[in-house]
Amino acid sequence: MWTQAWARGLSRGLDVPVANAPAPVEPAEIETRISEEAALLASAEDDLRIEPLVARGDSVAQGAPLFRFRRHPEVAITAPMAGMVAHLDLDLGHRLRRIALFHDDGAGRYRHDPGAAAQEPAALRRLLQDSGLWQAFRSRPFGRFPLPAEVPAALCVMVLDTRPGAADPRLAIAGGERAFEIGVRAISQLTEGPVLICQEAGAEVIARNILPRRVKILTVPRIHPQGLAGVQVHRHFPARPGAPVWDIGAEDVLAIGELLETGYLRQTRLVSVSGDALREGRLIRTQPWADLRGLCRGLLRPGPSAILSGSLLEGQEARWLRPGDRQVTARVRRERKEGAHWFRSALSRASRPLPLIPTAAADQALGGGVAAMPLLRALSSGDAETAIRLGVLSLLPEDLALADYVTCAQPALSALLAGLLERIEQEEVA
């Protein structure tokens, strides 16, 4: 059952129940698990062309560069843990298919040289691009990591995550408030526009009176989808071509601050493990690209299950924790029912999208700041001009996952948005 919430007129949303959500704990009580393997997979659609800096069998320190992007050689991806390169699989054209590491603490940690990055924007860009933290930013429109020389019109820092079962980002940065402040001050150098810190009421993690003038603290209600960057970007500083808006999570800002202070990359991230296939949910600190089976070991109930990287709304079945994800959802795998009526089957295979029925839930699934049904109809019909006018350039597929949940639309609205954004991006390039 959904509950509805309004805050200051537009702050609408839905409370989506999730089985075995982790219970609140003190930061010191959170378990740390470093999985024995870690891997990054790329599909042909990703077209991830790289220049390797390591080879199979090499020992690599945590934080050491693994490869650079061929199209953007300034930008590197670094090792999520100390270990040995177990696999480095490339297709034609140096397209990455898989890179995997075996854990080995003896490989140590790699130290980057912060230099003057805390005071000089150009030095900060180089440090973030060399350290792999550049990928922590997402640039809207289109949701790619920023181009090396891109300058955002605004930045959005999310100190709130309202996805079902998500961990509270305040737990992730507890005890690191000074490094978080250093990170906020540093990234504010990357834009001449506002830096928006989105957080729950009464949950300030940084004092307003010590912030640069361009840094604004926005109070956001804890109801989904208000804790998604797309909802806040659309409401406060809509993205458009030529004026991109970047978003970044609070723990990544903390990691930037720690890098500037110490030269070392943060070794873990806070991950929430939940779902109906578990005996109990749990908060775990683990490395990026972690083995999801290892994170769920000892928590799964007997029986078939599917492990998703991400929440129950937008998560995808996976073996490894995807970059950017901070949730793992274990779901009971249910057999598909056979013998569906021929007419229902024909509708589900129809080339034309099924009709969308206006409901209050559909409106609230987009947070109340978007004209929900006109936007959803524009997506269903492929009307790019109307969708742009209604604010689609501030959104990403994850921002419509809740709308998919409440409308059961086919094709999925998030998939229609992904296709429309790709078409708009191609037209922009042309």
DSSP 51-82: EES--TT-EE-BT-EEEEESS-TT-EEE-SSS
pLDDT score for 333: 92
pLDDT score for 345: 56
Peptide bond into 225 cis (omega under 30): yes
Measure the CA dihedral 20/24/30/34, to 10°.
40
Give strand pairing partners of 307. Answer: 330
C-beta neighbour count of 86 within 10 angstroms: 16
For 290, the 3-state DSSP assignment is: strand
**99 vs 90: CA distance, rounded Å:** 9
pLDDT score for 44: 80
Which residues does 2 contact at the CB level (< 8 Å), separation at least 6? 14, 15, 16, 361, 406
The mean pLDDT values, 10 residues at a time, for the chain of 430 residues are 37 87 93 97 90 98 98 98 98 96 98 96 98 98 96 98 96 95 96 96 78 90 95 96 97 98 98 97 98 96 96 97 97 72 53 63 86 91 95 96 90 94 86
Contact (CB, 8 A) for 170 and 159: yes
pTM of the model: 0.93
pLDDT score for 346: 52
- The amino acid at residue 286 is T
Give strand pairing partners of 186. Answer: none
pLDDT score for 300: 97
Contact (CB, 8 A) for 61 and 50: no
Residue at token pair 């990287």: 309
**183 vs 246: CA distance, rounded Å:** 15
In the β-sheet with 76-78, what is the strand arrangement from edge to edge? Answer: 50-52, 65-69, 76-78
